[in-house]
Structure 1
Amino acid sequence: MIKIIAVLCSLASPANCHEQIVTTSDFADVSMQSCMMGAPQLAEWMNQHPAERLAGWRCVLGQQTGRGA
């Protein structure tokens, strides 16, 4: 399974950033190439989280936990 780990920053406090795994069932069929190019599902996920700005993302294989940015 490919996990997408996003670096998200608060719009209210732009210096307040953190990493979060954004992989959901919508990402089940994401290929590594699609992930690296910015999976369309990532934009949909961001639309559901309007208080945050996407500062970056990375794609990892297998199990991974989020860590502070």
Structure 2
Amino acid sequence: MIELAFVACLSAAPEACEKRSLYYSDDLSPRACLLRAPPELAKWVLDHPKYRVSSWRCRVRPATEQDA
């Protein structure tokens, strides 16, 4: 599973940040995640206007971290 992991901070309180994730199925490559991430994050911010994304990365989520 590919994870788009990002940190979202409140615009009004930039020190108040939360780790968030969006998940993609195994058929998406990490490189494709990198290409898909900016529009996905822009969409997320539109749906969550009180937040801004401060950092993000794509990674393969290890099987040990995946839900059973």
* TM-score of the aligned structures, taking structure 2 as reference length: 0.68
Instruction: State which of 23, 29, 32 in structure 2 corresponds to 1:31.
Output: 29
Partner Cα separation in structure 2 for residue 31 and residue 47 of structure 1 = 25
Identical columns (%): 34
Match of residue 45 from structure 2: 46
Match of residue 21 from structure 2: 21
Q: For this pair of structures, how many residues does the alignment match?
A: 62
User: Which is richer in helix?
Assistant: 2
Q: Which stretches in structure 1 are left out of the alignment for 5+ residues?
A: none
Q: Which stretches in structure 2 are left out of the alignment for 5+ residues?
A: none
* TM-score of the aligned structures, taking structure 1 as reference length: 0.67
Q: Report which of the two structures shows the higher radius of gyration computed on alpha carbons.
A: 2
Runs of 4+ in 1 over 4 A off after TM superposition: 27-30
User: Which is richer in strand?
Assistant: 2
